[in-house]
């Protein structure tokens, strides 16, 4: 995150090669060592994105780094549970895999009149497939939204809140797939039960002017999120006070007391100076005021860029804007890392398969960081 220009600046650091390792738990340990070798201080690691495997969770705990699971991977696990929960759906999908996909229904119907297929679908099964696809549409939309390059941790809580509401509503297309839909909702509730308690997600949602506090489902979760945000703003206030020049602290010294003929205004200023709260109290009050005023304003359109808002309001909410740049830089999926493998496939292929891991990593580094090196 470019905190001066309020824009995302994705940077590729490393893509180390792995030798064949017998035990899968060894991989996260190597990743932890690679982070240290890059010279990245653990205190500067804001968050690490991982999958939901138990060994990855343990590796992040051993590193002492804050980590969150990939939202797209969690949604995929929910869909898997939902599809397996209803036997009629799994049987229909098994037959569909043998022939083709739903979009080819008309062509397949004409083709079966003169040819034999490895499997056939009845009219009820076609309807079942259409209803299944209709239930999965919100999950597809969610996956596409959170997989964008501009998606951040702030998109998670609003997306999950909307998904819960969609899956809880009865639709005319639910016939034959109610069990699957109910299981999907239960899986979402289970896998995202703590999403509003996760500090990274909750604060990121609050500082996103598109969402703010409008998407929290429980009042205690919202109260915890606001308290966490105020604490972060207080830390930013303290850092700003500590980083000021020494000259800025000199006015704290009292002015010499004037004689009996001094004006009433100077006495009022003197009393005000004596009652001036300490730096920490000022920070607390300022943090609370910034958060309260910011949350009381209207949200911006959902298609707007939240960083543009903070660029124009940085002087109004200086510490809050600093918190926003900190929390809005975290992605919510590992899709960007997976896109890295597509870049690798363009460099390493069957006709160019003798590149050493070090040379391949250098080429990937240049490819992904070219926007820093050369601007058209």
Dist. CA 195–CA 2, nearest whole Å: 27
Do both 155 and 41 map to the same domain? no
Residue-by-residue pLDDT tens, the chain, 376 positions: 667 778 777 777 777 766 554 455 545 554 555 666 767 777 777 888 888 878 888 878 887 777 888 888 888 889 888 888 888 888 877 777 666 566 677 777 777 777 776 777 788 888 888 888 888 888 888 888 888 888 899 999 998 988 888 888 888 888 888 888 999 999 999 999 989 999 999 999 999 999 999 999 899 999 999 999 999 999 888 877 776 544 333 443 444 444 444 443 444 344 335 544 343 333 345 788 889 999 999 888 888 999 999 999 998 898 999 999 999 988 888 888 888 877 788 888 888 888 888 888 888 888 888 877 776 5
CA-closest candidate to residue 217, choices 232, 198, 195? 195
DSSP state of 317: S
DSSP state of 195: G
249 assigned to some structural domain: no
Q: What's the pLDDT score for residue 157?
A: 92
The token pair at 165 is 């509401």
Do both 182 and 291 map to the same domain? no
Do both 201 and 324 map to the same domain? yes
Do both 36 and 162 map to the same domain? no
Dist. CA 322–CA 336, nearest whole Å: 25
Counting the structural domains of the chain, the total is 4
129 assigned to some structural domain: yes
Do both 147 and 213 map to the same domain? no
Do both 326 and 230 map to the same domain? yes
Q: What's the pLDDT score for residue 256?
A: 42
Do both 115 and 214 map to the same domain? no
105 assigned to some structural domain: yes
CA-closest candidate to residue 295, choices 205, 234, 224? 205
Dist. CA 325–CA 7, nearest whole Å: 9
Q: What's the pLDDT score for residue 245?
A: 44
pTM assigned to the model: 0.75
Range of the domain at 117: 70-193
308 assigned to some structural domain: yes
74 assigned to some structural domain: yes
Whether the CB-CB separation of 67 and 98 falls below 8 Å is answered with no
364 assigned to some structural domain: yes
264 assigned to some structural domain: no
Dist. CA 368–CA 376, nearest whole Å: 15
Do both 97 and 160 map to the same domain? yes
Do both 305 and 226 map to the same domain? yes
Dist. CA 120–CA 107, nearest whole Å: 13
In sequence order, which residues have a C-beta less than 8 Å from that of residue 348 and are 6 or more positions away?
A: 355, 360
Do both 99 and 149 map to the same domain? yes
Q: What's the pLDDT score for residue 88?
A: 82
Do both 32 and 106 map to the same domain? no
Do both 117 and 163 map to the same domain? yes
């Amino acid at each position: 995150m470019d905190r001066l220009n309020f824009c995302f600046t994705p940077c590729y650091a490393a893509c180390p090669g792995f030798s064949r390792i017998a035990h899968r738990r060894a991989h996260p340990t190597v990743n932890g060592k690679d982070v240290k070798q890059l010279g990245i201080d653990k205190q500067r690691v804001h968050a690490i994105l991982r999958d939901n495997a138990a060994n990855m969770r343990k590796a992040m705990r051993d590193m002492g780094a804050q980590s969150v699971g990939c939202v797209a991977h969690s949604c995929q696990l929910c869909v898997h549970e939902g599809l397996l929960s209803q036997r009629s759906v799994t049987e229909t999908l098994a037959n569909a895999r043998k022939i083709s996909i739903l979009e080819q229904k008309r062509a397949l119907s004409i083709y079966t009149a003169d040819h034999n297929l490895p499997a056939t679908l009845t009219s009820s099964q076609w309807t079942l497939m259409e209803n299944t696809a209709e239930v999965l549409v919100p999950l597809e939309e969610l996956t596409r939204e959170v997989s964008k390059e501009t998606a951040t941790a702030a998109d998670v809580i609003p997306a999950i809140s909307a998904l819960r509401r969609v899956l809880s509503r009865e639709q005319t297309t639910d016939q034959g797939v109610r069990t699957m839909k109910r299981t999907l909702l239960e899986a979402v509730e289970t896998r995202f039960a703590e999403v509003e308690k996760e500090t990274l997600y909750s604060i990121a949602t609050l500082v996103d002017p598109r969402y703010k506090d409008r998407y929290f489902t429980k009042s205690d979760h919202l109260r915890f999120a606001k308290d966490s945000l105020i604490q972060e703003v207080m830390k930013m206030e303290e850092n700003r006070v500590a980083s000021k020049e020494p000259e800025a602290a000199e006015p704290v010294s009292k002015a010499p007391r004037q004689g009996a003929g001094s004006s009433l205004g100077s006495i009022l200023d003197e009393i005000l100076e004596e009652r001036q709260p300490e730096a920490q109290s000022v920070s607390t009050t300022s943090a609370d005021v910034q958060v309260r005023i910011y949350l009381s304003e209207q949200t911006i359109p959902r298609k707007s860029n939240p960083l543009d808002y903070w660029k124009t309001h940085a002087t109004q909410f200086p510490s809050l804007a600093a918190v926003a740049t900190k929390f809005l830089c975290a992605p919510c999926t590992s899709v960007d890392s997976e896109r890295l493998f597509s870049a690798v496939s363009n460099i390493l292929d069957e006709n160019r398969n003798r590149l050493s891991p070090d040379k391949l990593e250098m080429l990937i580094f240049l490819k992904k960081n070219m926007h820093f090196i050369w601007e058209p």
